[in-house]
Amino acid sequence: MTKDKIVKFEEIALERTFLAIKPDGVQRGLVGEIIRRYEEKGFTLVGLKFLKVSRELAEQHYDVHRERPFFSGLVEFITSGPVVAMVWEGEGVVAAARKIIGATNPLSAEPGTIRGDFGINIGRNLIHGSDAIETAQREISLWFKEEELVSWQPTLTPWLHE
């Protein structure tokens, strides 16, 4: 690798997304397995916390679903046990993270995806991921303070980017 071929970190079109391992993922001991998939893909962890979600945060997080019949069950479930909240960074991470998660209903999710490999029921689908760049920005600022996010340059970068 010659010097002029080394990728400039600042020139990579980085995005950030918000992911949360829901109480079922934590209870089932899938925290490590789920984080591993994003690490191995080559994305960068920039924020991580383990918390019991308040009703207020849950309702704000799922605000777009407020009128849906499953809203109260959703809030009940996400507040029922600890969750792992994360921010991941990388080129194309918002859409790619959703692909790694798979379809909303685990029975329809492809094998190889998190929901396809580990889930059966739509109300126990293990993980949340932001569905668009704007949604990601809203969710990241809802769940994390600016100072809780860490910008860093993985030394792996030239092995992941041309």
d(CA 29, CA 126): 11
The DSSP element (H or E) to which 58 belongs, if any, is: helix 55-61
- Total count of residues recorded for the chain: 162
The answer to whether 133 contacts ligand DAT (rule: CB under 6 A) is: no
Taking Cα atoms as reference points, which of 12, 17, 13 lies closest to residue 101? 17
Nearer to ligand DAT, 131 or 148 (CB): 131
The answer to whether 74 contacts ligand DAT (rule: CB under 6 A) is: yes
CB 25 within 8 A of CB 127: yes
Query: Of residues 61, 65, 128, 161, which has the active-site annotation?
Result: 128
The binder of ligand DAT chosen from 9, 50, 70, 159 (CB under 6 A): 70
- Footprint of Mg ion on residues 121-160 (CB under 5 A)? 131
Is 65 annotated in the active site?
no
User: Which window, 3-11, 13-21, 29-37, 124-132, contacts ligand DAT (CB under 6 A)?
Assistant: 124-132
User: Which window, 38-46, 80-88, 118-126, 139-147, contacts ligand DAT (CB under 6 A)?
Assistant: 118-126
Surface-to-core class of residue 98, CB atoms within 10 Å of its CB (0-12 exposed, 13-18 middle, 19+ buried): middle
- The contact pattern for ligand DAT, residues 21-60, with x = CB under 6 A and - = no contact, is ----------------------------------------
**Pair type for strands 44-52 and 82-91:** antiparallel
Count CB-CB contacts under 10 A for residue 69: 7
The contact set with ligand DAT (CB under 6 A) reads 65, 70, 74, 104, 122-123, 125, 128, 131
Which residues make up the interface to Mg ion (CB under 5 A)? 131
